[in-house]
Amino acid sequence: MKTSFLEIFTLIAILHCFILSLVILLSKFFRNSINKYLGFTLLIISIVGLNNWFWDIGISPTIINILDLLLWQFLYPLTYFIFFYKASGVFSIKPIKLTILFLPFLVLSLFNIMVSLSTIFHFYSLPEIIEESIALFYKSISLLSILFSLCMILFSYTYTFLKKTSLSEKWLKYLWFSFSLILLYGILLEAYRFIYSEKLPLTYLWTFVSIFIYWLIYKGLYQFKLSNDQYEIRGIVKKSIHTLSDSEIKEGPHFKKLIILLEEQKIHHNPNLSRDTVAEQLGISSGYLSQIIKKNTSINFSEFINSYRVKDIKEMINDPMFNKYSLLSIGLECGFNSKTSFHTNFKKETGQTPSEFRNQ
């Protein structure tokens, strides 16, 4: 059997999708309660892709016939939706209602198994009236899969774009847009099949998928991992923050109040913290704030704030509770707004890079 370059390219893209799904599901670095749905989605898409690849080259191995017993087209749009639903953090659907969404996959797959065991595996013969309805059954499945996928895209849009944009949510929106384009292209192919009863090759679809996978590996997952780490670190740090009353802030020398804001409220963890913002909290001018910092520490405002950021980073690195988080996610959560700024100021303060400090 001779295979074309495009068919080989498609198979490679399918294998990449399969490997990436296993990495997300099994890797300690990516695995969590949200990412697993992304992993399941990619795994199911790779199974569907493999089935269609063998279909396109005119071969039907037994393992592919077995995999075809399940109607995957009613499962991966659902796992795709659940991923964006959970990633949004807006939990307005009860778990029992989410479970109901699996019914189309389960019920229709059961019917498909009953038909396939007769028509493909020849385990038994179906009544004549049912055999005459098989074509209509698969035509209905084609239409339902189109409608189901469109509903999942619309539902996921609602949750993905429900909240204001932050670093992680902006990435989720890019991910939703890319993923949805791929699903919509697949819907168009299925619609063509429904109207003209002719199946088109999926080569161009898998070209889009392969590009999406590489973007997901080198940009998306790394960014999402950082975002998740920062979110978890923030939760740990919040437990130790003492909220000050207005009277506590207004009483006492200004420099002492500044130290309290830094050590107890961790205001320096805000990467957008400015001298004007701090001065306003203390009820003094920004010029006077610079004067009291210079008088008490002999350094300027930026150096003083960065020294507290480095101090917190060192404490986190030495705390086993933070061992599972990357150094960059710790640095960003402690207030540095870039990898370069984090490394430069940390080495300036300690004489070591963050990696050298952790390794010692």
Q: What are the structure tokens assigned to 71, written together?
A: 């109607």
| pLDDT of 244 | 43
Using one digit for the tens of pLDDT, what is the confidence trace for 22-57?
A: 988 887 666 778 889 989 999 999 999 898 888 878
| pLDDT of 96 | 82
CA distances for 315 relative to 59, 306, 312, angstroms: 60, 14, 5
Per the prediction, the chain carries an average pLDDT of 83
Using one digit for the tens of pLDDT, what is the confidence trace for 84-141?
A: 998 887 777 888 888 999 999 999 999 999 999 998 888 988 888 888 889 899 999 9
Using one digit for the tens of pLDDT, what is the confidence trace for 214-234?
A: 777 666 566 666 666 666 676
Using one digit for the tens of pLDDT, what is the confidence trace for 288-303?
A: 999 989 888 888 999 9
Q: pTM surpassing 0.85?
A: no
Check if the beta carbon of residue 342 is closer than 8 Å to that of residue 336.
yes
The span from the CA of 249 to the CA of 172, in Å, is: 38
CA distances for 202 relative to 18, 55, 190, 253, angstroms: 17, 10, 11, 71
**Length of the chain measured in residues:** 360
* Of 70, 6, 12, residue with least CA distance to 44: 70
The span from the CA of 44 to the CA of 26, in Å, is: 15
- φ/ψ of 240, rounded to 5, equals -100, 0
Q: Is the pLDDT of residue 61 over 60?
A: yes
The span from the CA of 20 to the CA of 27, in Å, is: 10
Using one digit for the tens of pLDDT, what is the confidence trace for 167-189?
A: 456 777 888 988 898 899 889 98
The span from the CA of 189 to the CA of 203, in Å, is: 11
Using one digit for the tens of pLDDT, what is the confidence trace for 146-169?
A: 999 999 999 999 888 876 544 456
| pLDDT of 1 | 54
| pLDDT of 59 | 83
Q: Which domains does the chain have, with CATH numbers?
A: 5-231 (1.20.1070), 240-359 (1.10.10.60)
Q: What DSSP assignment string belongs to 124-181? A: S---HHHHTTHHHHHHHHHHHHHHHHHHHHHHHHHHHTSS---HHHHHHHHHHHHHHH
* Residue 13 buriedness (CB in 10 A; 0-12 / 13-18 / 19+): buried
Using one digit for the tens of pLDDT, what is the confidence trace for 245-281?
A: 444 444 447 888 888 888 888 889 888 888 998 988 8
Check if the beta carbon of residue 86 is closer than 8 Å to that of residue 161.
no
| pLDDT of 220 | 59
